[in-house]
Amino acid sequence: MPPAGPAAGRSMVAIKQVSKSFGASRTEALQACTLDVPAHEILCVIGPSGCGKTTLLRIVDGLIRADRGQVFVNETEVTAPRPDVAMVFQHFGLLPWKTVYDNVAYGLRVQGRADADLADAVSRYIDLIGLRGFEKNYPYQLSGGMQQRVGLARALAVNPEVLLMDEPFGSLDAQTRELMQEELLRVWRSQPKTMLFVTHSIDE
């Protein structure tokens, strides 16, 4: 169970009456969506492809703005991308020209961390996801499950309060998907984060 503390039991993500439409025809992706995600818990949103799940995550991440409504993270309104929120993507989103180590370090470098300061954090998260020994490998040298572990480590390395999971196991085979589900729960138990997980699969 997640640790008790000042944040426990309160809403870490609050989505209030959020609506979003796209295109000249104003196709509605979200209509008055309201949702609360308690701190240190995993909340899963299930729905068919095209129902607005990814749009919802992108709004929470500050990548796009809602047409109406508000989103709050840690009681502060989201108006742009912020360092306390990180996303894991369905198709890994790794930089193919960078090694495992440099992919995990990427977010820390964007934050301005010097290489000498980030080495311990990168090594810790590579250990956490079980990829010690693969630091110098490139994404093309890894299986799909291993690539998704790198994506998870990259998101965790920036130490976000909130982790957004956009169908992260959707492109994996059934066996690897089950292993990654177990891996995610293991990581969450060791370092509880508030997670908003979207998928079209009830099995996930």
Residues contacting residue 24 through CB under 8 Å, at least 6 positions apart: none
User: Which residue did the predictor score with more confidence, 34 or 27?
Assistant: 34
Phi then psi for residue 7, to 5 deg, are -85, -15
Distances (CA, A) of 183 to 40, 75, 130, 138, 187: 17, 30, 9, 21, 6
Distances (CA, A) of 83 to 42, 48, 119, 142: 19, 30, 19, 28
Length of the chain: 204
Structural domains in the chain plus CATH codes:
1-84+193-204 (3.40.50.300)
Give the pLDDT score at 6. 41
Q: Is the pLDDT of residue 31 over 90?
A: yes
User: For 160-201, what is each residue's pLDDT tens digit?
Assistant: 999 999 887 776 777 777 877 887 888 788 888 899 999 876
Q: Is the pLDDT of residue 3 over 60?
A: no
pTM confidence score: 0.80
Give the pLDDT score at 9. 59
3-12 long-range contacts (CB < 8 A, ≥24 apart) are: 3/40, 3/192, 7/39, 7/40, 8/39, 8/40, 9/38, 9/39, 10/38, 10/39, 11/36, 11/37, 11/38, 11/39, 11/72, 12/37, 12/38, 12/39, 12/40, 12/73, 12/74, 12/161, 12/162, 12/194
Q: Is the pLDDT of residue 99 over 60?
A: yes
C-alpha 56/C-alpha 166 separation (Å) is 10
User: For 76-93, what is each residue's pLDDT tens digit?
Assistant: 999 999 989 998 887 778
Give the pLDDT score at 129. 80
Give the pLDDT score at 47. 87
Using an 8 Å Cβ cutoff, are 98 and 147 in contact? no
Average pLDDT over the chain, rounded to whole? 87
